[in-house]
Amino acid sequence: VTEKTKFLNVILPLALPNLYTYRVPREFNDTISLGKRVVVQFGRSKVYSALIAEIHSRAPENYEAKYILSVLDDAPIVVSQQFKLWTWMASYYMCTQGEVMNAAFPSGLKLTSETILQKNLDFDAETSILSDKEYLIYEALEIQEMLSIAEVIKILNQNTVLSLIKSLIEKGAIRINEGLVMKYKPKTVTFVKLSAFADEEEHLKIIFDKLEKAPKQLEKLISFINHSKRYSGNIEEVAKKTIILETGSLSGFAELVKKEIFEVYEKEVSRLSSSGITNWKSNAIVLSESQESAFKKVKGEFENKDVVLLHGVTSSGKTEIYIKLIDEQLKKGKQVLYLLPEIALTTQIINRLSVHYEGRIGVYHSKYSDNERVEIWNSVLGIGGGATYDIILGARSALFLPFNNLGLVIIDEEHENTFKQYDPAPRYHARDSAIYLASIHRAKTLLGTATPSMESYSNAKNGKYGLVELFERFGNMQMPEILLVNVKDEIKKKNMNGHFSPLLMELMTKAFDKKEQVILFQNRRGFSPFLECHLCGWIPNCVHCDVTLTYHKNIGKIRCHYCGYSLDTVVCCSACGDNNIQAKGFGTEQIAEELSHYFPNAKISRMDLDTTRVKNAYQRIIGDFEKGKVDVLVGTQMVTKGLDFDNVSVVGVLSADSMLGYPDFRSYERSYQLMSQVGGRAGRKHKRGKVVIQTYQPDHHVILNVFANDYNAQFTQEMKQRKQFDYPPFSRLIGITIKHKDKQLLDGASEILVKALKLKLGKRVLGPEYPAISRIRNLYLKKVLIKLEISISPTKVKNLIKEEIIKFHSEKDFKSVRILLDVDPL
DNA sequence: AGCACGCCGACT
DNA sequence: GTCGGCGTGCTC
């Protein structure tokens, strides 16, 4: 039987535009299949795990294909629907398949090749032929068998070690090994069983008698017998830990093993806490009248629309509607994907969902350990023996899981911009990608929010999506009362207490008296955004980036929020030497400090990037606030994100103007969303909440729309502006960022690229312009924006842009110019 | 993304 | 004179 030689086209985990072809050794012919990983050598020394994307028998003509080294998986770990999604994402978001794969795989599935140094045992020359540094490495290998490149760098305290290693190899002192490091390690638990001898009843009796004089051992044996249910029904496996925990000590255990009464064995177990499928009580949910009608409308819309937008005011009880819909899908045996903008929100939601679907929900996001994420992947795939999850709750990366039978995708807080990934590529929008994913599965998508994005609401208005609106808050809760404060007037009247207006002071005082809670929102972290010399106006800037350094009072530093560069707080002006340095503007840190001055007894908690950097810090802050351990929560936009508290009576927006003044066409949309969302946190079951908005422009139309809680007016006015200036949703945008460390070269290069693009696309090409921050980490930036009519085919334009970039990069001076493409930028 | 090849500046 | 900087090109 002559079988044709097989070849594979594989996706490598790199930003390479093409797939690469490898040859399959005969003995692997039966083991290879699409969606399995293989180990391949790529380049002179590197070994990667690559994914089989195509199997064929066309031998490459222009080169000799390398052989694959091995097949990693017993069964495919990527399903056909995922290949479809990845291909679409790579083409829509203008990136490579390798980049999509890298985003899709939890890092536990990505094997990394590592160069390992080992001593050459045949080395017989004098160590005196080695240089001092070489000897240092040689000596280190005497103590430690293996060294990684990173360890060598550490030992020598220098970055360039390759030539030194090369020399060591040439002198015959060391060898190197290229090894793939398997990251995923299954968790094992030690179990105990009786030996074959002890397992026989008559022997066991004798053993019991013999152990009379060894109470510790007897105690362990009894504990085992009880847990194994030997004399009562089904025999169960017993973990060693169970016995140790019950008897409170280890003593005697080893003796039992030694006497060959106990035998221990290892078993792989799931890290996922689950008891498997348990009964779920969906009927426990009772919808209010308005919820019920919204639920029915959603189902009605799904009859002929694939995507439905559920526009429900804050606290209108959207979650209950989701649960009902999830329930229906589960009954049909379908999978459900529930996407949330923020990892931290999963805790609140999971508590509400798990009541209904305990053991069937998998939570998936980047804060989970690699090992756990691999197990969830396998569980969705239905391999690995653990629980099979049919509901996945997660942040944007959850859409990459290997679903094969998806029935419904829910995107909660659809308007949130954290659904868009910016760095690294793929620069994808999880909402839009999930809608495509759903279409692959012929599944439905539900978008839920209190403040729909312009894109989604206009899609709903023009009939592309179904629209269901819910204007009533759950349980007769009233919409919060919104109060505007003209900060300009208050300052004139010298009424301000720090950054607090008299009205806000009064409401906070009342709230504290009644043991009610307060949320203060200021969209800026740190103490103040910059320091300024009172005499000459000098402002300390970052040395690597084109931004001012933000003052962080409590760590006594000024820091760059873009690269992390920091300096000790300056006391003297570097320009004129004057010592009258003042803090300008204000951030959350300053608000918290002022608060503790005016309300020394209030328990204050701050929630922003600085205080939530530590793992679980977010959960802790939210938890403390929920439990009432904290009276005031001061935070950045983090506090606006869909959290539900039930004892908040006052919400304060300290400076609406800083949001409105942001130079971006979406700043009004975002300001409305933020104010409306943070305001929605106010209100309790039987009491109307109050929202104080402090602003210099109380007549601004966005402020007035928030005041009137009029989303429709906001939408209509915003649409008028978008149409006038041809912004989305009336056009599509593609952002191009051009980076280089040499400013002049960048200027020239970007002009040439724009000229070439304009030749093809005309006035659709805008720029190049320096962005507001024109230098980050010592790289200068220029931005170009492509604005396309909706009627034009984006695919054609994307191909055209790619061609032009290839042409541009073929120019020898521009090879080092980095170009980032961002489709549908935010 | 690595990694090797190759061409110019500050050292033995 | 060389060591080593990083700019450039290629990897099936």
Tens-place pLDDT, residues A15-60: 999 999 999 999 999 999 999 999 898 988 788 889 999 999 999 9
Listed residue (A328, A387, A322, A377) closest to A352, CA to CA: A322
Neighbours of A72 (CB within 10 A): 17
CA distance A723 to A744: 36
C1' (C6) to CA (A564) span, angstroms? 26
C1' (C3) to CA (A540) span, angstroms? 40
Window from A447-461, A470-484, A541-555 with minimum mean pLDDT = A541-555
Query: To the nearest whole percent, how much of chain A has pLDDT over 70?
Result: 92
Listed residue (A632, A633, A616, A679) closest to A653, CA to CA: A679
The residues near A593 (Cβ < 8 Å, ≥ 6 apart) are: A527, A553
| A257-262, Cβ contacts within 8 angstroms, sequence gap of 24 or more | A260/A195, A260/A197, A260/A198, A261/A194, A261/A195, A261/A197, A261/A198, A261/A207, A261/A221, A262/A192, A262/A193, A262/A194, A262/A195, A262/A198, A262/A220, A262/A221, A262/A224
Tens-place pLDDT, residues A320-373: 899 899 989 988 999 999 999 877 677 667 777 777 777 788 888 877 778 888
Kindly state the DSSP code that residue A619 receives in the 8-state scheme: H
Structure confidence at residue A272 as a pLDDT band (50, 70, 90): low
Tens-place pLDDT, residues A216-240: 888 898 899 888 888 887 788 888 9
C1' (B6) to CA (A164) span, angstroms? 20
Helices A667-679 & A701-708 angle (0-180, nearest 10): 30
Average pLDDT over residues A720-736: 94
- Residue A571 burial (C-beta neighbours within 10 Å; 0-12, 13-18, 19+): exposed
- 3-state secondary structure (DSSP) of residue A332: coil
pLDDT score at A297: 95
Neighbours of A261 (CB within 10 A): 22
Confidence check: pLDDT of A477 > 90 = no
Chain B, protein-covered positions (CB within 7 A): 1-4
pLDDT score at A113: 65
pLDDT score at A666: 92
Confidence check: pLDDT of A7 > 70 = yes
C1' (B8) to CA (A689) span, angstroms? 71
CA distance A433 to A103: 13
C1' (B8) to CA (A152) span, angstroms? 29
CA distance A757 to A766: 10
Average pLDDT over residues A467-496: 88
Measured CA to C1', what is the nucleotide nearest A14? B1
Q: Is the CB of A18 under 7 A from strand B?
A: no
Chain C, protein-covered positions (CB within 7 A): 4-5, 7-12
A window 194-223: Cβ near strand B (< 7 A): none
- 3-state secondary structure (DSSP) of residue A334: coil
User: Which is more confident, A22 or A565?
Assistant: A22
Q: How far is CA A659 from CA A343, A454, A664, A665, in A?
A: 24, 18, 10, 12
CA distance A230 to A199: 10
Structure confidence at residue A277 as a pLDDT band (50, 70, 90): very low
Q: Is the CB of A162 under 7 A from strand B?
A: yes
- Residue A275 burial (C-beta neighbours within 10 Å; 0-12, 13-18, 19+): exposed
Confidence check: pLDDT of A170 > 60 = yes
Average pLDDT over residues A123-129: 76
Mean pLDDT of chain A: 86
- 3-state secondary structure (DSSP) of residue A65: coil
Structure confidence at residue A411 as a pLDDT band (50, 70, 90): very high
Listed residue (A635, A102, A15) closest to A421, CA to CA: A102
Strand partners, A20: A10
- Cα angle A120, A152, A741 (rounded to 5 degrees) comes to 135
Q: Is the CB of A144 under 7 A from strand C?
A: no
Average pLDDT over residues A177-200: 79
Q: Which residues of A735-752 are buried (b: 16+ CB within 10 A; e: fewer)?
A: bbbbbbeeeeebbebbeb
CA distance A762 to A759: 6
Q: Is the CB of A245 under 7 A from strand B?
A: no
Tokens of A466: 């179904």
Contact A277/A438 with Cβ under 8 angstroms? no
Contact A104/A437 with Cβ under 8 angstroms? no
A455: part of which helix (H) or strand (E)? helix A454-461
Average pLDDT over residues A821-825: 96
A window 502-521: Cβ near strand B (< 7 A): none
User: Which is more confident, A472 or A456?
Assistant: A456
Tokens of A392: 């996945």
pLDDT score at A112: 65
**Per-residue DSSP letters for A399-413?**
GGS--SSEEEEEEET
Contact A422/A822 with Cβ under 8 angstroms? yes
C1' (B12) to CA (A126) span, angstroms? 25
C1' (B6) to CA (A170) span, angstroms? 22
Tokens of A815: 């090879």
C1' (C3) to CA (A163) span, angstroms? 11
